[in-house]
Structure 1
Amino acid sequence: MSLRKDYIERLIEEFAAALSRIIKARREKKLADAQNLIQETALSTLGMEYAALLMADPVSTAKLLGAPTRVKVLARLVAEDGELIAEQGDTATATARFQYALALYDEVQALGLAPDGDDTATIARMHAWLAEPHSR
Structure 2
Amino acid sequence: MNHWESVDHHAVLRARTLLLGSGTINIHEAVDAYRLLAVVSPAVYLPRLAQALLEYGTADPRNPGTRLAVVTEAASAARRMEAAEPRRAALLRKALEACEQELTVLGRTEEARAVSEELDRTAGGEEGTR
Please, what TM-score do these two structures have when normalized by structure 2? Answer: 0.49
- The structure that has the greater radius of gyration is 2
Which structure carries more relative contact order (alpha carbon 8 Å, separation 6+)?
A: 1
Q: Which has the higher helix share?
A: 1
TM (normalized to structure 1)?
A: 0.47
